[in-house]
Amino acid sequence: MPLPRLPALATRAPRCVAALALVLPLLAMAQSAPAPTSVPTPQVESAGAPRYETRTTSLPAKGLFEGDELTAAARRQLAELVLEALGLRIDVALVVPTGPWRLDGSGPDERQLTPQRLEAVKRFLQQRGVDPRRMYVESRIDDRIAEPRLEVQIGGREALD
């Protein structure tokens, strides 16, 4: 193997030194720089699912119905409930009779809860924009409670659109 000539080494050596002078600082910076996995990533708050919220009103049986229709006071209270629920995507609307209601149709009493009276409540809610497919009646008849009441609960999540 022939030895390189001296003038060729003399011209290549400064180029190699210059190249090393450029590369060595870059290598030093690369070694001192933190690994890409250790760089903290900015935390973005996730919107997540909106909280489930419930709006409730409780109406006494006394003065709730005139015949099979809601009284003006009952309509006003139910309208306030619907206004409170504005901004919710309604998942469920429960009509919940609680207390000693009479379900046997034993007279035109305030305590008598007929299907027509329940339909009047559901119809009112439907007229105010509650989807009838999301309305349910859940009976909690309890004789230990002295006065019958009708609770209406509207539950849903905040509407994002």
Nearest to 92 by CA among 149, 146, 131: 131
Task: Give the residue, 128 or 42, on which the prediction is more confident.
Answer: 128
The verdict on residue 29 lying in a domain is: no
Residue 32 domain-assigned (yes or no): no
Q: What is the mean pLDDT of the chain?
A: 78
| Domain that residue 112 falls in | 52-158
**Structural domain includes residue 3:** no
Helices of type H across the chain: 6-32, 72-84, 115-127
pLDDT tens digits, residue range 70-125? 999 999 999 999 999 988 899 999 999 888 776 655 556 667 778 888 899 999 99
CA dihedral 111, 139, 106, 126 (to 10 degrees): 70
Structural domain count, the chain: 1
Is the distance from CB of 71 to CB of 64 less than 8 angstroms?
Answer: yes
Mean pLDDT for 151-161 is 87
List beta partners, residue 59: 150
- On whether residue 140 sits in a domain, the answer given is yes
Cβ burial of 71 (10 Å; 0-12, 13-18, 19+) is: middle
pLDDT digits (tens, 9 = 90+) for 133-154: 999 998 876 778 888 888 999 9
Number of Cβ within 10 Å of residue 79's Cβ equals 14
